[in-house]
A and B are shown apart, each in its own frame.
Chain A
Amino acid sequence: MTCSPTRNPFTHTETAAVGVAIEGLSKNFGCFEVLKNVTFSVEPGEIFVLMGPSGSGKSVLLKHIVGLEKPTAGRVTVDGRDASSETTREQVRLALVFQSGALFNSLSVYDNLALYPREHQVADEAAIREKVMRALQILSLEGTAHKSPSELSGGMKKRVAIARGLVMEPQLMLYDEPTSELDPVMSATITEIIATLKDEYHVTSIVVSHDRELALGIADRVGILMGGELVSLGTPAELRAPKDPRVAEFLYPKIDLKNPRFKKLET
């Protein structure tokens, strides 16, 4: 599953873009079914946006792709390799921007970003410094380099988490709601970063987002997950006029003050 070679944003070494295939994935926590027979694939170098109501299993799905959860049934492969095996992570560079950020609280922002390149010895300290500062700059975080994560606001933590992903120069980058806590300009910046990574470096991206603008603006394809099932899969153009009423209601909810939703619950 390789296509045109990828150049890394920083090192300019060539690596191949990777694809992801999910076949009949089901996941139960105890007897609670979170994912039900989900099947789709993400092509190398594609931007795939995953949308869906809160609690529909999007974060759990991402965890399967990075191998943090094991499927109850079905298979997840990254670049043709089983996602839950440890060797996959050694062979494919992938980065996940956690919904909560998951920054290392005992390290400064700078060390959070520098941890990956230092541990994997991808460059010397001066080159790492350059990479880290550049990633911080892209996300307007220069001032926070020596702060600890506990001193940052929610949106800043999110941006640090994204910067940490960028420094890893991944072949596959997964974002869990990258723009949910950010102001409109910052959201636009993140959207541009995702698109640039794809256009210039062929990074495969899977983005979980509620951001309609992001989804319709840069996605190659959009999947919609509801109650653990993939109810819709198509191009952004197809989503502008969805046929499925559930999808239409989810993407374009009408705010109806005369007949609010919470009142419908009472009857």
Chain B
Amino acid sequence: MNQLTAILEGIGSTLQLLFRAVSYTPSLWRQRARFIEQCYLIGYTTLPIVAILSFFIGSVLALQAGYSMSNFGAKQFIGSLVGLSMARELGPVMAAILLAGRVGSAIAAELASMKVYQEIDALETMNIPPAKILVLPRLAAVLVMMPVLAIIADLVGWFGGAIISKYTQSIAIEPEAYFSVLRRFMVFKDVLNGLIKAEVFGFAIVLVCCNIGLNTRGGPREIGAAVTRAVVVSLILILVLDYFVTKALM
């Protein structure tokens, strides 16, 4: 029962924070320096690891697909399998998981320590709302950066699949054949759906991590607890939202 009220309170305070942050949207232009800084932080910290991991995800997909599909002579369709799985599902989910691990945790840690060391209180006495200068630029930045990350995840994953398909002896499909199948069975909507998913995940992660950070109470130990909670909640949120967004976009 206590946990249920805690969850409901969390949802309530997150929505409240969202409305507050959105109400300061007109100030975004004046805050462009902060916005650009956040874009840089989100992109810079997440991009390399997104690229590396999607390469391997694409490779493994090709490998597994090759193993099972060659049994019934369908291995020429590997390209479309890798392509669709990356674009519709794995690209956005991977990018979101890495965003939660690298950016979400950092946001929760930073805001939690600002709260614990009274910097948030200082902002409030100065009549500078934290939702305006801390939350809004991050939300705007993730909206811009998340599709970029997801597209890069898609592209690198496709290439990973192509390389493995060519150099694995049991598959041995030339990249031209791989990409022509990939293109034939994929429509723009598949990629677009993936990007919408990525956008939803990214926005939710940043919002939730901001809220958890800002609601930290206590001392340094609670900063650590806030970070853990932020990452766990983000991961759960990704999986739950994944189901609903997929269903909604069907």
Contacts and interface: CB of A to CB of B under 8 A. Distances in A.
Interface of A: 63, 66-68, 89-90, 93-96, 98, 100, 102-106, 115-116, 119-120, 168
Contact of A119 (B110, B113, B121, B133): B133
Contacts of A66: 125
A104 B122 contact: yes
A102 B123 CA distance: 9
A102 B126 contact: no
B119 A89 contact: no
B117 interface: yes
Contact of A116 (B113, B117, B124, B126): B126
Contacts of A104: 114, 119, 122
A89 B117 contact: no
Given A90-B127, A119-B133, A120-B127, A102 B110 contact: no
Contacts of A89: 124-125, 127
A67 B126 CA distance: 11
A90 B124 CA distance: 10
Interface in B63-122: 110, 113-114, 117-119, 121-122
Given A67-B125, A98-B118, A104-B114, 18 more contacts: A63-B121, A66-B125, A68-B121, A68-B124, A68-B125, A89-B124, A93-B127, A95-B126, A96-B122, A96-B125, A102-B119, A102-B121, A103-B119, A105-B113, A106-B110, A119-B126, A120-B128, A168-B126
Contact of A95 (B114, B125, B133): B125
A75 to B, nearest CB: 19
Contacts of B125: 66-68, 89, 94-96
Nearest to A100: B118
Interface in B132-175: 133
Interface of B: 110, 113-114, 117-119, 121-122, 124-128, 133
Contacts of B119: 102-105
Nearest to B31: A119
29 contacts: A63-B121, A67-B125, A68-B121, A89-B124, A89-B127, A90-B127, A93-B127, A94-B125, A95-B125, A98-B118, A98-B121, A98-B122, A100-B117, A100-B118, A102-B117, A102-B122, A103-B119, A103-B122, A104-B114, A104-B119, A105-B113, A105-B114, A105-B119, A106-B110, A115-B126, A115-B128, A116-B128, A119-B128, A168-B126
A94 B113 CA distance: 24
Contacts of A105: 113-114, 117, 119
Nearest to A92: B127
Contacts of B126: 95, 115-116, 119, 168
Contacts of A90: 127
What is the interface of chain A mostly: helix, strand, loop, or mixed?
loop
B118 A102 contact: yes
A90 B125 CA distance: 10
Contacts of A168: 126
Contacts of B117: 100, 102, 105
A136 B56 CA distance: 54
Nearest to B127: A89
A202 to B, nearest CB: 20
A151 to B, nearest CB: 16
A100 B119 CA distance: 10
Nearest to A104: B119
A43 to B, nearest CB: 22
Contacts of B118: 98, 100, 102
A142 B113 CA distance: 28
A89 B118 CA distance: 17
A93 B125 CA distance: 9
A202 B33 CA distance: 37
A68 B130 CA distance: 14
A160 to B, nearest CB: 12
B115 to A, nearest CB: 11
Contacts of B122: 96, 98, 102-104
Nearest to A65: B125
B120 to A, nearest CB: 9
Contacts of B113: 105
A104 B115 CA distance: 11
A63 B118 CA distance: 11
9 tightest Cβ-Cβ pairs between the two chains A and B: A102-B118, A102-B122, A89-B127, A66-B125, A119-B128, A96-B125, A116-B126, A68-B121, A104-B119
Contacts of A115: 126, 128
